[in-house]
Amino acid sequence: MDPQRRQRLEQFLRKLGLVDYDQVNWRMLDLALTHSSASPDQNYEQLEFVGDAVVRLASAKFLLETYGDAPVGDLAALRSVLVSDRVLADIAKVYRLDKYILMSASAAGDRAGFRSRQADALEALMGALYLSTNDLSYVVPWLLPHLEPLAEQIRKDPAKQNYKAALQEWSQGKWKELPDYRVTEASVVHGDRERFIAEVWLQGCCWGKGKGPSIKAAQQAAAQAAFERAQAMG
């Protein structure tokens, strides 16, 4: 491995708070932070596959140890948020993971794919760290400080931050009706945080509006507005 690359990777591990990293497999760590645009054959895709299971395991272990008396359904709902691309991308942003990923200039300039690249690379990183030791010792120390406050925040949220699912459950219970989402494209610029505008309709009325960089995000924002309106009604 190029000495400068090794030095950068060591710098990143220290940023994670890992001081004793003698067991790290440096080749795997390098792959974990290599995008397919930099190397079609040697990149983070396989490690991402492993990391997806690692973050689910780490989250499940944490939730079981912390909220062991909670129903399994509640634990599953919590985990689904904790391992979401949105949460993983936010964690990656804290550590400026993008600075350490090898990728082509065109990929780096793709604003629309930025968050998904961050989430994918973070999963690959966890895969590499897990395979280095065959346990969670290089993952838990820096991951749990992010999951702990977020899990408590989600538990206090009646929608568990999945407003589309919560609104659908509420509307079906009240009217036996599914929400109707109507989406328009306000911008053609990839990565524009207000590219899509969504409305959610129930009973012939618009219950909420939302904007987002993707159709899914805009719908989620609209569902949040509608669900909060429903909660205010009692």
pLDDT digits (tens, 9 = 90+) for 144-174: 999 999 999 888 877 777 889 889 989 999 9
How many other CB atoms are there within 10 angstroms of residue 204's CB atom?
6
> Could you confirm whether 74 is annotated as catalytic?
no
Give the total number of structural domains in the chain: 2
Kindly state whether residues 111 and 57 are assigned to the same domain. Answer: yes
Mean pLDDT of all residues in the chain? Answer: 93
| pLDDT recorded at residue 165 | 86
CATH number, domain with residue 225: 3.30.160.20
Record the tokens describing residue 4, joined without a space: 């400068």
Catalytic site residue from 30, 120, 123, 199: 123
Look at the alpha carbons of 47, 192, 90, 57 in this order and tell me if their dihedral is positive or negative.
Answer: negative
Residue environment code for 51-60, b if the CB has 16+ CB neighbours within 10 A, otherwise e: bbebbeebbb
Provide the domain limits for residue 182.
163-233
> Could you confirm whether 185 is annotated as catalytic?
no
Last-in-domain residue among 155, 183, 200: 155
pLDDT value at 14 more than 90:
yes
Kindly state whether residues 137 and 210 are assigned to the same domain. Answer: no
Confidence at 112, pLDDT banded by 50, 70, 90 = confident
Kindly state whether residues 126 and 225 are assigned to the same domain. Answer: no
Kindly state whether residues 83 and 197 are assigned to the same domain. Answer: no
Strands (E), the chain: 180-185, 196-202, 205-212
Query: pLDDT for 74-101, tens place per residue?
Result: 899 899 889 999 899 999 999 999 999 9
Last-in-domain residue among 110, 136, 155: 155
Query: pLDDT for 51-74, tens place per residue?
Result: 999 999 999 999 999 999 999 988
Last-in-domain residue among 108, 137, 155: 155
Kindly state whether residues 133 and 29 are assigned to the same domain. Answer: yes
Secondary structure, 3-state, 111-147? HHHHHHHHHHHHHHHHHHHHHHHCCCCCCHHHHHHHH
Catalytic site residue from 48, 52, 120, 199: 52
Query: pLDDT for 179-190, tens place per residue?
Result: 999 999 998 877
